Structure formats: C-alpha cells, structure tokens
C-alpha cells in the first residue's frame, strides 16, 4: 500500500549528481577501447551502445522516481489532503509531470541519434554524434534541476511523517493552542511530544499508541486551531483540520478551564461551534483540562456546554463503532463455582502494611540518601557502622591488614596465644640444649698457619698461571739459559722462597765469571785497550749525544715519552697491529640489552 | 589488601605489582615480575629452576617442617573482628617472626658446616702438595746447620772445660 512506503522512496539525486552518475556509469560499464582502423560497423555499434546505455540509465532512474512517489489520487484522502496542505498538490503534480516529459525527451533524443549513427562513416563522425546525443540528454536533465530539488525535499519530509493508519481506532485531540493536548498524549501514551509554555509548540501531527481493553489505540495530537475562517488558515492549522476532516476517529475537544492558554472559555466555545460540522459522525467528548489549577466547581454557570466534563487523569472511555463490532464477537469465560467457599485473593501482610504506611504517610526511617542530602559535601559512605561485632564500640576501628610483608589475616586464630606459648617453650628447650650456641672457631695456631700458607700457595699459583698466559708463544722460543738473569731478581726470588741471600758477593753467580774463565784459559791476557773497546767506551750513549744540558735532557726525555704514549696506550705492538683482544666482551652483549646498543656499562 | 605469593618464585607480590594469569580451568597464577611470568610461559617447572624458593625447599636447602611455619597459613573462614584478638595477633606475629628467622638461619648454618670441614681438609692437602711454590725445600736448613754447628761447638767447649 502506498501509505506505508513513504520511507521506501529512492533518493532523488540533484541534477548535477544525476548527470555525473550516469555518465561515469556509461564510461565504466561500456567498452572504452576503439581504434580508427576497426571496421565501420564495429565503430558504429560501439558508439550506439554508449548512447543507448545512457538513455537506458536515465529512463530507468526517472521511471523509478515516478513510480516511487505516491499518486495523490491513489492514496487515502487523508494523506492526499495532508500532502496537499504540506506540499501543494499542483506543484507536486507539476514536478512529476516535468520529470515524465524529461524522460520522454531523452528517449526521443536517443532514438534520433541512434538512427543518425547509421550514416556515420568515420570514427570521428560517430564520436561527434555520440557526444551530441549525450550532451543533449544531459542538457535536458539540467533543466529539471528545480523539480528534482523539490522532489528530494518532498521525499525527505514524507519519510518523516508519522505513520497514521486512517483505518484503525483513533482518538483525535483538538482545541486551542496551549490547552494541554501534548501533555495529555505524553501522559497517556509513550510518545514524547515537546511541551512548552508558548503557543504552537506542536507544529505537526504526532501519533502515540496506547492499550485499552487489550486493543491498540492510536492517539493523534494536532497543532492548535485558532478561530478564523477556513480560507485564512495557515499550513499548521490546516494539518489539524485535515486530520479532523478525514480521520474516522473519536474527537476529544480539549478546553482549558483555567484559561492559562490565553483564551477565555467563551472564545473556546466559539471555536467549538465553528468546527462542529467537522465532528459529524464522530463520537465527541469535551475535555476540561487543567482542573487542578481551577476546580470545575468554581466555574460560573454560564458555561453550560461543559456538561459532560472529565478530569484529565480519569480513563477515557471511548467507544467507536468498531469497538462495538469487536465486542459482539468477544466472550469472557469464567469457571463455574464448585462450592460456596469464598476464595478471595491472598495479599501478604507486608504488602498490606506497606499500603497502609503509604496512605497514612508515616515517617519512614532515615535513609542513607537523607543523610547524604543533609551532610552535603561532608558525606562519606561508611558501611562499617552496619557491622555486627561482639563489641559494638569497635565498629569504627581501622583494621590493620599488613605487617612487614605478612598478611595479618593469615595469622588470625582464636587459639593463637596458646600456640605461641607452645612455640616459646619449644624455643626455650632448644636454647637450653645448646642449639643456638655460636661455635667458637677453636682453631689452634697450626691450623691458622696452614690456612695462611694455603692461601699464599693459591695466590702464587694464580700469578704463575697469569704470567705464563702473558708469554708470547707465537714467536720463537729462546732457551732459558740464553737470557741473562739479573742478580737482583734472582736474589729476590730466592729470598721470597725463604732462603737466606744476604752477603752472597762471592757466590758463583755474583763474580764476573767470564773474566775468571778467561784468566784460566789464557796465559797472557791482553790489556783491554784495543781501539774498538776504547771507542765504544768513549762514545756517549745515545740518549745523551747531542744534548746540551740537564734541562734539555729532561725535555728530550718527555718528548720521547709523549711520542710513545699513544702506542703504549693502545697496547699495540706496532702500527700494523690491529688485533682486538675482545671482539664481543660479555658484559656488553649479555642480558636484555644485548643487541649491541650498549657501549659501556 | 593482601600480599600474594608469586607462583613461580614465591616472592611477595604487593598490590599494584606484578601480573595475574587466569587459566581456563579458573586457576589464578600471580607473578611478581616478568621474569617469573616468562619462565612460566616457557613451561618451566619452578621445582627445577634453581633460584626459586620452591626448588630450595624441595631440595632441602631451606627449613621446611617447623612449628613456627605453621602460624602463617591462608585461612578460608574469616573471623569476626575483635580488637583484643587483633592486637594480640600482631604482637604474637612479631615474636613468631623472630623465632622463625632464628630457626631458619640456624638451619642454613648447620648445612654449611660441612663445607667448613671440607675447606679445612682442602687447605691441608694444598699445603702438603704445593708448599714448594712458596718455600724452598731447604729454606731454613742453612740456618739450622749453622745453629747445630754453633751448638756443637758450645758443647765441645763445655766438654773441654
């Protein structure tokens, strides 16, 4: 049914978008490659296809628009009238008509150009024809810009109209603005209509649903109606009038008894009489609203029209013809009584008490909430006061939980004192038995000496191992006897080992053994005055030749040392020594920071 | 607030530290640091990982069976707060703690005694074998000889007298 498909109308694109859409689609969905040297029928077919494709697209889309939008003659007169009120029937029909014309024009254009294409004899000619055809179609559509925009707006508004079913049970609220129709509908249904003190808060129809007698009822809220003739009514009021005119509903004419809406009761009565003709064939109830402000009894007797008055909190007993029909078909089945025993409903005592308390308005016990309100900012939620302890004065205690890394809760035991006593007794016994006596290291002198010697031995051993590691095993080895052993080192070593090395001047190693040997071998010894010897004796040593004085000597020495510093520091044997002793030292490459990003630690 | 025990190394986990892992059979594992967590994920057995308390206890390096250790036990039935009981408990805790520490220390000390004896024996053998590294074999001999000679001379002189 067209009624409920207002939300399903396709989006109407703007003219520009429409054109872009279709043209890009043509480009994508049709073949794009064509060459001059193809056969002419192939070229013609290629371009004809493009024209037809574009025409097809336009046609489809425009037809869809035309079918989607409801035809005012086909829908329920309520909706027809409503749409007329809102969108102007003529404009609407015109817009759709224009679209239709555009569609036909596009079809004609396509037909013509396809016919002309038959006479295209080169790629260039066919291409121009296609361009012309597409251009004309797009121009046609460009001219429809206004209609398309209007239709898009209509569509958006249509989709937001409330779904009022004109055929079901309906209650219609009408009356002056600000009398309380929206408040009523908010109370009675789950609708959430805006309620404000200014008039014309409700600007369109609103629907709410409620249940009464197991049936669903629609309650329709209308914008207020002012009292002037039909021709002078604006769009908002016309909506209300339309609803009144077309919906077969029970009408609730709402009157404001307290005159808070700004209109006197007589004015409201006037309006009522004026719209009376609209109420033909519909059950009518006049509702006196806002009677908490001004009681009905305070009304003067002039207002005789307010005979049948209802307080706005009382149930509305509406009977439309339909309900009668349904009632005839309903029947409530009740089980027959077995005996005369009275079986009344069971209400528990607590519920009764509570009901009584509610009615008598007895003072309730002080709630936490009341306390909170009372104390304001100082309020803290203190649940400890509800605790059930043996000594109630301990309720506010701060309970310790942890001591020095232990949970106190793990030690809590009613018998802990007894166990502690046992433990202490045990401890005493052990102490008596001598378990905790610290043993004196009763070592005699001998043992101490042995220890000391052992540590010395170990140290000596390690040093020896280290020094042997430092030896250069790569080079050629000289026999031990080739090296000259200094007297001082020999004597020192032997002294360390415990031998007595004092006054060893005439020992075999301290004498100039060579001269002794020489003396034995030769009878006549040549005096040591040969030229070479004397020359070597008189030549100054290298570190003193060329040096003038002590100051210069000192400077020379420091220069020498400085130049050697670099090499010495690097620990290299010479310039070509590029040996790295430890390519990957462990302390830089171990652990989590081992990826080589650490240069020192 | 409770101080939990790390599942892997049995260290105390204070609130706000470490991680917890809940397995599909609803068993909760708490860890004190990522080291323990990672080891757990590698499926290592804490009883075989040498640095954990579980290993040390299982292999007898620490005091296991003792009355003082029975005081700290996780109790599942709470006891209602009673100021007197709580204050007594805190005092008792302190005493129990001191006794426990003493006993644990004594246990370890006893364990390490054997080492001392072995050390002693090792020193003696070392000295016996390698004394030549620090003392020449005839280190004091010359002196001794001299002394002997002097003594003999003195005796001779005496005898002469």
pLDDT in tens, A11-62: 999 999 999 999 999 999 999 999 999 999 999 999 999 999 999 999 999 9
Q: Which long-range contacts (CB under 8 A, 24 or more apart) does A118-123 make?
A: A118/A44, A120/A40, A120/A43, A120/A44, A120/A47, A121/A40, A122/A36, A122/A40, A122/A43, A123/A34, A123/A35, A123/A36, A123/A38, A123/A43
Alpha carbon A225 to its chain's center:
49
pLDDT at residue A536, as a whole number? 58
Tell how many helices (H) and how many strands (E) occur in chain A.
19, 7
Question: Residues of B with CB below 8 A from A410's CB?
Answer: 72-75
* Inter-chain touch B89–A435, beta carbons under 8 Å: no
CB of A422 less than 8 A from some CB of B: yes
- DSSP characters over A238-257: HHHHHHHHH---EEEEEEET
Query: Which residue in the set A397, A458, A500 is minimally distant from B83, CB to CB?
Result: A397
Q: Which of A499, A501, A503 to mutate to test the interface with B (most CBs of B within 10 A)?
A: A499
* Inter-chain touch B93–A417, beta carbons under 8 Å: no
A219 bridge partner residues: A171, A208
Which tokens belong to A90? 């003529």
Determine whether B96 is exposed, middle or buried from the number of CB atoms within 10 Å of its CB (0-12, 13-18, 19+): buried
Nearest residue on chain A to B135, judged by CA atoms? Answer: A497
| SS3 label, residue A590 | coil
Residues 455-494 of A with CB under 8 A from B: 456-458, 460-461, 464, 494
Whether residue B5 is predicted with pLDDT greater than 80 in this model: the reply is: yes
- Band of pLDDT at residue A418, cut at 50, 70 and 90: very high
Which homologous superfamily is A170-299 in? P-loop containing nucleotide triphosphate hydrolases (3.40.50.300)
* Inter-chain touch B99–A423, beta carbons under 8 Å: yes
pTM above 0.80, yes or no: no
pLDDT in tens, A273-291: 888 777 777 777 777 777 6
Class of domain A15-160: mainly alpha
Segment A362-371 mean pLDDT:
79
A–B CB contacts, 8 A cutoff, strictly below = 133
Segment B4-12 mean pLDDT:
96
Segment A359-365 mean pLDDT:
70
Question: Residues of B with CB below 8 A from A419's CB?
Answer: 70-71
Domains and CATH numbers, chain B: 1-62 (2.30.170.20)
- Band of pLDDT at residue B6, cut at 50, 70 and 90: very high
pLDDT at residue A314, as a whole number? 35
Q: CA–CA distance from A47 to each of A26, A51, A136, A140 (Å)? A: 11, 6, 15, 20
Please determine, for the modelled complex, whether the ipTM score is greater than 0.85. no
pLDDT at residue A162, as a whole number? 82
Question: Residues of A with CB below 8 A from B3's CB?
Answer: 402, 405-407
pLDDT in tens, A104-162: 999 999 999 999 999 999 999 999 999 999 999 999 999 999 999 999 999 999 888 88
- Band of pLDDT at residue A300, cut at 50, 70 and 90: very low
pLDDT at residue A9, as a whole number? 87
Determine whether A127 is exposed, middle or buried from the number of CB atoms within 10 Å of its CB (0-12, 13-18, 19+): middle
Instruction: Report the distance separating Cα A562 and Cα A61, nearest Å.
Output: 97
Query: Which residue in the set B3, B72, B99 is minimally distant from A411, CB to CB?
Result: B72
Q: Which of B53, B123, B131, B146 to mutate to test the interface with A (most CBs of A within 10 A)?
A: B123
* Inter-chain touch B89–A391, beta carbons under 8 Å: no
Domain ranges of chain A: 15-160, 170-299
pLDDT in tens, B40-74: 999 999 999 999 999 999 999 999 999 999 999 99
pLDDT at residue A317, as a whole number? 43
Question: Residues of B with CB below 8 A from A436's CB?
Answer: 102, 106
pLDDT in tens, A495-525: 888 888 888 888 888 876 555 545 555 555 5
Closest CA to A247 of A1, A78, A73: A78
Number of residues written out for chain B: 161
Residues 385-414 of A with CB under 8 A from B: 387-391, 394, 397, 399-414
Instruction: Specify whether the CB–CB gap between A73 and A80 falls below 8 A.
Output: yes
* Inter-chain touch B131–A497, beta carbons under 8 Å: no
Nearest residue on chain A to B124, judged by CA atoms? Answer: A450
Residue whose token pair is 């007797």? A301
Whether residue A398 is predicted with pLDDT greater than 60 in this model: the reply is: yes
pLDDT in tens, A435-488: 888 777 677 889 999 999 999 999 999 999 999 999 888 888 888 888 888 899
Which tokens belong to A424? 């202490």
Segment A566-570 mean pLDDT:
86
Segment A317-339 mean pLDDT:
62
């Amino acid at each position: 049914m067209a009624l409920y498909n207002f939300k399903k109308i396709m989006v109407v694109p703007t003219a520009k978008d429409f054109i872009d859409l279709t043209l890009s689609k043509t480009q994508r969905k049709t073949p794009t490659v064509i060459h001059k040297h193809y056969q002419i029928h192939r070229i013609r077919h290629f371009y004809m296809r493009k024209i037809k494709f574009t025409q097809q697209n336009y046609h489809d889309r425009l037809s869809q628009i035309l079918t989607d939008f409801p035809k005012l003659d086909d829908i329920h007169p309520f909706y027809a009238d409503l749409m007329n009120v809102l969108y102007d029937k003529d404009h609407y029909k015109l817009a759709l008509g224009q679209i239709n014309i555009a569609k036909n024009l596009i079809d004609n254009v396509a037909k013509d150009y396809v016919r002309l294409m038959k006479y295209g004899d080169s790629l260039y000619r066919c291409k121009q024809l296609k361009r012309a055809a597409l251009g004309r179609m797009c121009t046609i559509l460009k001219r429809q810009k206004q209609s398309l925009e209007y239709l898009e707006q209509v569509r958006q508004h249509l989709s937001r109209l409330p779904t009022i079913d004109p055929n079901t049970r309906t209650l219609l609220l009408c009356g002056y603005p600000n009398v309380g129709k929206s408040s009523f509908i908010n109370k009675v249904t789950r609708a959430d209509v805006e309620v404000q003190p200014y008039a014309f808060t409700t600007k369109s129809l609103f629907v709410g649903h409620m249940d009464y007698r197991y049936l669903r009822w629609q309650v329709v809220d209308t914008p207020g109606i002012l009292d002037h003739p039909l021709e002078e009514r604006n769009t908002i009021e016309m909506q209300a009038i339309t609803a009144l005119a077309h919906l077969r509903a029970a009408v609730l004419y709402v009157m404001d008894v307290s005159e808070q809406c700004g209109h006197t009761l007589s004015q409201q009565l006037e309006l009522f009489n004026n719209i009376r003709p609209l109420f033909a064939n519909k059950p009518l109830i006049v509702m006196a609203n806002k009677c908490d402000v001004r009681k009905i009894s305070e009304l003067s007797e002039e207002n005789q029209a307010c005979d049948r008055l209802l307080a706005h909190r009382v149930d509305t007993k509406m009977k439309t013809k339909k309900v009668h029909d349904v009632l005839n078909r309903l029947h409530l089945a009740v089980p027959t009584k077995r005996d005369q025993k009275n079986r009344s409903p069971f209400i528990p005592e607590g519920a009764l008490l509570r009901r009584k308390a509610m009615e008598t308005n007895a003072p309730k016990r002080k709630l936490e909430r009341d306390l909170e309100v009372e104390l304001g900012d100082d309020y803290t939620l203190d649940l400890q006061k509800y605790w059930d302890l043996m000594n109630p004065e301990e309720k506010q205690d701060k309970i310790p939980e942890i001591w020095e890394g232990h949970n106190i809760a793990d030690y809590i035991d009613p018998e802990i004192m007894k166990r502690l006593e046992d433990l202490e007794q045990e401890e005493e016994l052990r102490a008596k038995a001598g378990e905790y006596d610290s043993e004196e290291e009763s070592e005699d002198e001998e043992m101490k000496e042995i220890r000391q010697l052992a540590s010395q031995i170990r140290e000596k051993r390690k040093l020896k191992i280290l020094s042997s590691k430092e030896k250069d095993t790569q080079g050629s080895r000289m026999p031990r006897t080739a090296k000259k052993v200094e007297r001082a080192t020999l004597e020192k070593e032997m002294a360390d080992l415990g031998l007595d090395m004092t006054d060893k001047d005439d020992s075999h190693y301290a004498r100039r053994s060579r001269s002794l040997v020489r003396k034995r071998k030769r009878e006549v010894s040549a005096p040591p005055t040969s030229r070479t010897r004397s020359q070597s004796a008189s030549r100054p040593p290298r570190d003193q030749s060329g040096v003038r004085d002590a100051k210069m000597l000192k400077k020379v020495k420091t220069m020498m040392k400085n130049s050697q510093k670099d090499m010495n520091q690097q620990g290299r044997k010479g310039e070509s020594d590029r040996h790295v002793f430890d390519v990957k030292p462990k302390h830089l490459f171990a652990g989590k920071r081992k990826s080589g990003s650490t240069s020192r630690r | 607030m409770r101080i939990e025990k790390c599942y892997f190394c049995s260290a105390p986990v204070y609130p706000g530290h470490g991680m917890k892992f809940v397995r599909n059979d609803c068993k909760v594992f708490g860890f004190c640091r990522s080291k323990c967590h990672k080891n757990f994920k590698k499926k290592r057995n804490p009883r075989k990982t040498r640095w954990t308390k579980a290993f040390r206890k299982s292999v007898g390096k620490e005091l296991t069976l003792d009355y003082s250790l029975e005081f700290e036990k996780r109790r599942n039935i709470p006891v209602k707060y009673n100021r007197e009981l709580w204050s007594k408990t805190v005092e008792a805790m302190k005493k129990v703690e001191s006794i426990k520490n003493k006993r644990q220390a004594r246990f370890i000390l006893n364990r390490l005694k054997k080492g001392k004896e072995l050390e002693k024996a090792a020193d003696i053998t070392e000295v016996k074998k390698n004394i030549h590294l620090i003392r020449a074999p005839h280190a004091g001999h010359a002196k001794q000889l001299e002394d002997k000679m002097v003594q003999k001379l003195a005796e001779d002189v005496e005898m002469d007298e």
